């Protein structure tokens, strides 16, 4: 066979051709000058971390992938588990993210892989990560749910995560926090028996959505995973909402209903008494400091004394005295006993340190706050024929006003003498308010003089609010109120009187003329509780499950959704924070944008955040 003739190729030509091909390979260009870089993308799995334990349907697989060479990009990133593709990760502008449902996997070890492809279909494979999934419990476990933060919340900085036992759930022997499906090793703190707190520092975390869950174990080793709560981590340059109506914090750890308003001491500590026979103390940021168990339900507010001592009455017939550290103030008993009487009102504190509180038998008790003993052998005294449920209030001249279910208000001197008794205006079971107004009085010589008259505002079960004279108990005026539910009254700095009813907030003028209506406005809302007025004149109250802020002219300022009802009055502390105790065991701290309570008058139940219940020197104690 004859071979075809081949042209002679010199050694020099071969060397040149080889150099050209080498240049193409090294430069990444083809023979026509086009870029053809086939180096693989760089890929890393950021989370979960190797060796971690994962659970649930929201395990975040976060991947960083980068194409190599110029004019190149990552086309897509696949996620594989145990060698099988389970989905494609989505790019969020920083990394590629994929939510892995581990409930579809067998419990045990699994291998997670990430494979990135660039525009030239070059493939980069990440170092695989091995994790352990644990989703199936051999026996049922206790059910706990995350109650704070809530889904949709924006968070930043140090975030407090609270988990609480569901109704009827057993005691948790251990509870884990899962962030994006990965079990964390964050320390947990028990708060109030059925609530657990985790503190999560998010400063090193990137912005974006995070899914939170808890896994609670019972003593038998069984566990249950909670429903997911999705929150958003704010960017460093993204401002958080800190305006009026924004949440400052939520606290957890108390059980039972709170019918009184939260009290605040000079040191900023917050006190809440509940129907679960327990008094709770929180610091100014909502951390539970201590709790104290009584022998009966507490349906009143807490009183904070001049030395930061704490006093609270109970249906067990006792007034308890404690230090700000929760230690008994009066020796072993730490309590004054009212005998067979049931106590539901909040003690009012006189300037000389004597507390006054009424009981279910119509007795008025005077208790020395320093030793827990009666102020004198004459006390207690019988002042009413019915039960004294409303808290006494004290005028500037130290006269004590006491309202009873027998429909009468009585004025009592500090030494226990009844000065006057009002006519029957109907049963009284809500707290009263005091105000002072200047009036012109005639002198015996026929002249006139300006005197300061104490006015008592009383809401009766017969559906009226009465303004009574502090001099003799006679009626100055009265006004009808709608609905079966009516709150205690409060008085703003301009003299307006505010009362919550079943159908809305009623604002009444303290003084009227021939052309002035008693009714200033009515703001429509359901089941309005006792309000509080801030230094700007804005009125704050809870209606059903919503906190309302209403301007002095009756227009809405803002609202906040509690997600739960609240039975007690609201409190405004010295920095303008509104405190609300919810029926779900949550204490809410909401910014008002004000500098505190309205000055003078009676801007909240018990007049101020310490709940002294008196006119005089401490008007700005809120």
Question: For residue range 227-247, what is the model confidence (pLDDT) as tens digits?
Answer: 999 999 987 666 667 889 999
Asked if residue 29 has pLDDT above 50, the reply is: no
Half-sphere exposure at residue 1, Cβ-oriented, CA atoms within 13 angstroms: 2
Q: How confident is the model over 136-152, as pLDDT tens digits?
A: 999 999 999 998 898 99
Domain membership flag for residue 107: yes
Domain boundary among 198, 233, 268: 233
- Is residue 445 located within the same domain as residue 575? yes
Specify the higher pLDDT residue, 515 or 317: 317
Q: Is the pLDDT of residue 27 over 50?
A: no
Any domain includes 239:
no
Secondary structure (3-state) at 289: strand
Mean pLDDT is lowest, of 296-300, 437-441, 529-533, for 437-441
* The predicted structure's pLDDT at residue 36: 46
Same domain (yes/no): 69, 127: yes
Give yes or no for residue 20 having a pLDDT over 80. Answer: no
Q: Of 95, 112, 133, which one is at a domain's C-terminal end? A: 133
Are residues 312 and 338 located together in one domain of the fold? Answer: yes
CA distances to 325, 458, 534, 570 from 259, rounded to whole Å, are 23, 19, 21, 10
Whether residue 185 sits in one domain with residue 125: no
Q: What is the DSSP string of 129-174?
A: EEEEE----SS----EEEEES-TT-EE-SEEEEEEEEPTT----SE
Entry pTM: 0.78
Same domain flag for 168 and 278: no
Give the Cα separation of 502 and 485 in Å (integer). 5
Domain region containing 59: 42-133
Tell me what pLDDT residue 621 has.
Answer: 54
Is 238 part of any domain? no
Number of other CB atoms surrounding residue 449 within 10 Å: 9
What pLDDT, on a 0 to 100 scale, did the predictor assign at position 205?
A: 85
Q: Is residue 241 part of a domain?
A: no
Q: Could you read off the pLDDT of 376-399 as tens digits, one per residue?
A: 999 999 999 999 999 999 999 999
Residue 484 pLDDT > 90: no
pLDDT of residue 8: 46
What pLDDT shows up at residue 444?
A: 75
Percent of the chain with pLDDT over 90: 71
Q: Give the pLDDT confidence score for residue 34 in this predicted structure.
A: 42
In a domain, 408, yes or no: yes
Counted domains in the chain: 3
Q: Are residues 340 and 446 both part of a single domain? A: yes
Q: Give a yes or no: residue 50 inside a domain.
A: yes
Angle at 218 between CA 217 and CA 224, to 5 degrees: 45
For residues 49 and 185, is the Cβ–Cβ distance under 8 A? no
346 and 416 co-located in one domain: yes
Q: Is residue 33 part of a domain?
A: no
CATH number of the CATH domain containing 439: 2.130.10.10
Average predicted confidence (pLDDT) for the chain: 89
Give the mean pLDDT of 473-494: 92
Which H helix or E strand runs over 21?
helix 11-27
Cis peptide before 149 (omega within 30 of 0): yes
Q: Mean per-residue pLDDT for 437-464?
A: 84
CATH code, domain with 91 = 2.60.40.10
Per-residue pLDDT reduced to its tens digit, 318-348: 999 999 999 999 976 689 998 888 999 999 9
Residue 168: predicted pLDDT = 72
Confidence of residue 33 (pLDDT cuts 50, 70, 90): very low
Chain segment 157-205, per-residue pLDDT in tens: 888 899 988 877 778 899 999 999 999 999 998 876 688 899 999 988 8
List the single range of 172-186, 271-285, 508-522 with lowest mean pLDDT: 508-522
Query: Do 263 and 126 fall into the same domain?
Result: no
User: How far apart, in whole angstroms, are the C-alpha atoms of residue 53 and residue 414?
Assistant: 68
Question: Cα-flanking dihedrals φ and ψ of residue 103, to 5°?
Answer: -70, -15
Same domain, 284 and 228: no
Both 345 and 368 in a single domain?
yes
Residue 534 and residue 399 share a domain: yes
Q: What pLDDT sits at residue 618?
A: 58
491 shares a domain with 410: yes
Q: Which residue has the higher pLDDT, 124 or 69?
A: 124
Residue of 59, 89, 45, 288 whose CA lies nearest to 184: 59
Residue 119 in any domain: the answer is yes
| 213/222 Cα distance (integer angstroms) | 17
pLDDT value at residue 512: 75
């Amino acid at each position: 066979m004859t071979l075809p003739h081949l042209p002679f190729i010199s050694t020099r030509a071969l060397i040149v051709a080889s150099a050209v091909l080498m240049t193409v390979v090294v430069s990444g260009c083809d023979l026509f000058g086009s870029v053809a870089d086939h180096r693989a993308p760089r890929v890393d799995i950021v989370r979960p971390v190797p060796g971690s334990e994962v659970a649930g349907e929201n395990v975040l697989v976060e991947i960083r992938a980068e194409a190599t060479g110029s004019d190149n990009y990552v086309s897509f990133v696949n996620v594989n588990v145990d060698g099988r593709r389970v989905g494609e990760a989505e790019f969020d502008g920083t990394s590629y993210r994929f939510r892995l449902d581990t409930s579809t996997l067998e419990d045990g070890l699994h291998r997670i892989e990430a494979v990135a492809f660039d525009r030239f279909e070059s493939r980069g494979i990440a170092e695989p990560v091995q994790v352990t999934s644990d989703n199936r419990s051999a026996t049922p476990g206790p059910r706990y749910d995350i109650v704070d933060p809530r889904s949709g919340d924006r968070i930043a900085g140090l975030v407090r995560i609270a988990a609480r036992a569901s109704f009827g759930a057993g005691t948790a022997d251990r509870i884990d926090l899962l962030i994006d499906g990965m079990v964390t090793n964050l320390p947990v703190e028990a708060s109030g028996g059925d609530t657990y707190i985790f503190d999560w520092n998010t400063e090193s975390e990137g912005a974006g959505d995070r899914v939170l869950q808890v896994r609670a174990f019972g003593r038998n080793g069984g566990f249950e995973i909670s429903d997911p709560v999705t929150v958003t981590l704010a960017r460093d340059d993204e401002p958080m909402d800190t305006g009026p109506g924004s949440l400052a914090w939520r606290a957890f750890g108390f059980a039972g209903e709170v019918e009184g308003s939260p009290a605040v001491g000079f040191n900023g500590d917050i006190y809440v008494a509940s129907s679960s026979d327990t008094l709770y103390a929180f610091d100014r940021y909502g951390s539970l400091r201590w709790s104290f168990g009584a022998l009966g339900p507490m349906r009143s507010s807490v009183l904070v004394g001049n030395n930061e001592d704490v006093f609270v009455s109970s249906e067990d017939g006792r007034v308890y005295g404690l230090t700000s550290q929760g230690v008994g103030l009066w020796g072993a008993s730490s309590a004054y006993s009212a005998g067979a009487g049931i106590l539901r009102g909040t003690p009012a504190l006189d300037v000389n340190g004597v507390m006054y509180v009424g009981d279910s038998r119509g007795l008025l008790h005077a208790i020395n706050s320093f030793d827990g003993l009666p102020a004198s052998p004459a006390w207690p005294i019988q002042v009413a024929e019915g039960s004294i449920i409303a808290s006494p209030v004290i005028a500037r001249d130290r006269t004590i006003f006491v309202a009873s279910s027998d429909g009468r208000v009585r004025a009592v001197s500090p030494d226990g003498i009844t000065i006057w008794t009002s006519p029957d205006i109907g049963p009284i079971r809500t707290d009263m308010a005091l105000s002072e107004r200047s009036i012109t009085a005639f002198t015996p010589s026929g002249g006139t003089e300006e005197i300061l008259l104490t006015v008592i505002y009383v809401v009766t079960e017969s559906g009226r609010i009465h303004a009574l004279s502090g001099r003799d108990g006679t009626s100055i005026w009265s006004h009808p109120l709608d609905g079966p539910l009516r709150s205690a009254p409060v008085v703003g700095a301009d003299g307006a009187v505010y009362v919550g009813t079943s159908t809305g907030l009623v604002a009444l003028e303290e003084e009227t003329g021939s052309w002035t209506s008693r009714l200033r406005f009515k703001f429509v809302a359901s089941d309005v509780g006792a309000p509080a007025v801030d230094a700007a004149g804005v009125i704050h109250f809870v209606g059903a499950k919503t906190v309302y802020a209403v301007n002095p002219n009756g227009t809405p300022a803002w609202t906040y959704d509690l997600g739960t009802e609240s039975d007690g009055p609201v409190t405004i502390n010295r920095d303008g924070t509104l405190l609300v105790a919810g029926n779900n065991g949550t204490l809410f701290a909401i910014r008002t944008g004000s500098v505190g309570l309205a000055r003078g008058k009676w801007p909240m139940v018990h007049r101020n955040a310490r709940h002294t219940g008196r006119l005089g020197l401490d008007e700005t104690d809120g």
